[in-house]
Structure 1
Amino acid sequence: MDSMLITVFLPIALAIIMAGMGLELTLNDFKRVRQHPKAVFIALFCQLVVLVSIAFLICKVFALPPMIAVGLMLLAASPGGPTANLYSYLYKGDVALNITLTAINSVIAAFSLPLIVNFALQHFVPGEQNVGLQFSKIVQVFIIIVVPVTIGMFIRHLSPYFAEKLNKPIRIFAIVFLLFIVSLAIAKDYQKLLAYLGQVGSATFLFCICSLIIGYFVPRLFGISNFQAKACAFEIGIHNGTLALTIALTVIANSMAAMPAAIYSIFMYIVAALFGMLLNKLEKRDVPRSINSTINQA
């Protein structure tokens, strides 16, 4: 029963959640790239290159056990999702840009995630036979990510009202499901988790902080507005832990690889909320300064 739960029900449940993501997307979200090409390119570069590189360095610096290192790389390769859109809305970011980034990220992740995980497996788990995701597993990742999102988009295209009605139940299901697989991942290897808790917790916490900081400040360095930089920060900083957990338990079939995503999913929401409040506080301080500067110039 435990094997069937992991190999059958987890992918089905994740497919429902990914379809829920598709319910929030339209083709216009992909076309909107032309309106903000610079912000989209910088955000994707941070997500796919900078963060993956930082995750790799964290694995090395913390000397993480092989499969835990693979799990952190899997987490880094996982895109954002609806939660990032929600945080962007709450902390006054560009939600339209968030949705666009989610749409693009969902498609790219179907190809980039297997590549990054294969690299991690070959680098951190040397000497084992059949290291890396085989072609059938890569196809499985593609199906888990792209097909449900496409179905969700198709439902929204046919009936926007029905899609809106489905949205709330799927969001609730997503939260319950996340709690369930976090519990499952911890329960499967809780003794090893306790042994590595300090090491894994520190590594994932640092990765979470780096994701948010890079997501905000790198776009700002390239002249992206505060409004859009917030959207980039939450899209890059809030990874799809549900996706990472399910792939670790089903595709990679290793509970140790699920540990970084499990621990990350516990404190990610708190760290992201504190970061959003900090950004808004800094923004309020900057407004009076800009007004005084304008008055002095006049």
Structure 2
Amino acid sequence: MDSALTTVGLPVALGIIMFGLGLSLVPDDFRRVARQPRAVGVALGCQLVLLPVVCFGLVKAFDLPPLLAVGLMLLAASPGGTSANLYSHLFRGDVALNVSLTAINSVVAIVSLPVITNLAIAHYGLGDQVNLQFTKVVEVFAVVLVPVALGMLVRARAEGFARRMDRPVRTGSAVILAVLVLGILLDQRENVGDYLADVGLAAALFCAISLVVGYVVPRLAGVREAQAVASSMEIGVHNGTLAIYVAVEVLDSTQMSVPAAVYSIFMFVLAALWGLLLTRYLIPGPSSRRGRRQPTAPAP
């Protein structure tokens, strides 16, 4: 299940992308998030409370086998992946909020991931324990925060260069993401059919619900659109690599890793489709406002 593509290639590629994201950020972005804690609180509430409840309802509704059910719960307990920042960047979300949420979630996951997963394990009587290693948390921090900080440093020293690179970075990010998705699908081509048959529908539905809940709940709570987009991507784009690592290396169960692998396949496609739906149809953009005709004064 694990391969050089997911364990080495993906973090390296996302590290490069995160450097590009850092070029678009300034320190005031983070200060603004601190001044508006509602978005952070609502997103964390969805991530830590609402999603595990929704996931448990799905595993019961689909009557998944115990190992697959625990594997999907493990994924639900995993923090947002670094790809969430990329999607937020591509679809005009609040990237500073994504970076902050990823950092906060990575710390909270030290407690929340073992608790949620162990509750699922106890429910199905499997009897194992999960201990999330501190090195994985450090890894997430390194992949997310260090490249972003370097990008911000470059922007502080050469703002003109950073602004000129905005469009090329967005285009390059989309190309890198497409290559990574294609590589993952090719790498897993021998097993994709079996994985989809086992848990495909439940994983796809959980992904779709996560993306929608991540946007709708913050909007109902009064969070502005850019932050709701960031929340949607943070909640819907899970750290599948971390979930696979815990399943295979900590719980010693390849079958438990299947839901995370299948979810990751749907995640890249559904997050892109959801982002396009948001930006083109659900969120009025500057271009649509400019396209409206302004009333003219009557001729004298």
TM over 0.5: yes
Contact 2:130 2:251 in 1 (8 A): yes
| Alignment partner, residue 140 of structure 2 | 145
Residues 1:132 and 2:129 are matched in the alignment: yes
The 1-side partners of 2:174 and 2:107 are apart by: 22
> Number of matched residues?
274
| Alignment partner, residue 97 of structure 2 | 100
Q: Which amino acid aligns with 2:60?
A: K
Q: For 1:63-82, list aligned pairs within 5 A.
A: 63-81=63-81
Unpaired segments ≥5 residues, structure 2:
293-300
Structure showing the higher helix proportion among its residues:
1
Distance 1:49 1:18, change over 3 A: farther
Q: Which amino acid aligns with 1:244?
A: A
Distance 1:175 1:215, change over 3 A: same
The CA deviation at 1:50 is 0.9
Q: Which amino acid aligns with 2:233?
A: F
Distance 1:142 1:244, change over 3 A: same
The CA deviation at 1:170 is 8.7
How many percent identity over aligned positions?
Answer: 35
Q: Which amino acid aligns with 1:116?
A: L
- Secondary structure of residue in 2 paired with 1:133: coil
The CA deviation at 1:211 is 0.8
RMSD of equivalent CA atoms: 4.1
Task: Report the more deviating stretch, 109-118 or 229-238.
Answer: 109-118
Contact 1:186 1:259 in 2 (8 A): no
| Alignment partner, residue 33 of structure 1 | 33
| Alignment partner, residue 221 of structure 2 | 222
The CA deviation at 1:78 is 3.1
Contact 1:185 1:262 in 2 (8 A): no
Contact 2:85 2:95 in 1 (8 A): yes
The 1-side partners of 2:6 and 2:268 are apart by: 22
Distance 1:170 1:246, change over 3 A: farther
Q: Which amino acid aligns with 2:222?
A: G
Distance 1:152 1:238, change over 3 A: same
- Secondary structure of residue in 1 paired with 2:69: helix
Q: Deviations over 1:174-202 (max 9, x none)?
A: 66556555665675xx49x72x6345111
Residues 1:241 and 2:236 are matched in the alignment: no
The 1-side partners of 2:269 and 2:41 are apart by: 28
Contact 1:98 1:235 in 2 (8 A): no
Task: Report the more deviating stretch, 37-46 or 228-237.
Answer: 228-237
The 2-side partners of 1:107 and 1:255 are apart by: 28
Contact 1:11 1:246 in 2 (8 A): no
The 2-side partners of 1:155 and 1:250 are apart by: 32
Distance 1:269 1:75, change over 3 A: same
The CA deviation at 1:61 is 1.9
Residues 1:16 and 2:12 are matched in the alignment: yes
Distance 1:155 1:271, change over 3 A: closer
| Alignment partner, residue 295 of structure 1 | none
TM-score (norm 2): 0.70
The 2-side partners of 1:210 and 1:9 are apart by: 28
Task: Report the more deviating stretch, 47-56 or 263-272.
Answer: 263-272
- Secondary structure of residue in 1 paired with 2:267: helix
Contact 1:122 1:132 in 2 (8 A): no
The CA deviation at 1:101 is 2.6
Q: Which amino acid aligns with 1:216?
A: Y
Q: Which amino acid aligns with 1:200?
A: V
Contact 1:67 1:256 in 2 (8 A): yes
Distance 1:174 1:254, change over 3 A: farther
The 1-side partners of 2:136 and 2:55 are apart by: 21
| Alignment partner, residue 258 of structure 1 | 257
Q: Which amino acid aligns with 2:275?
A: G
The 1-side partners of 2:248 and 2:178 are apart by: 18
Distance 1:171 1:269, change over 3 A: closer
Contact 2:233 2:271 in 1 (8 A): yes
Q: Which amino acid aligns with 1:272?
A: A
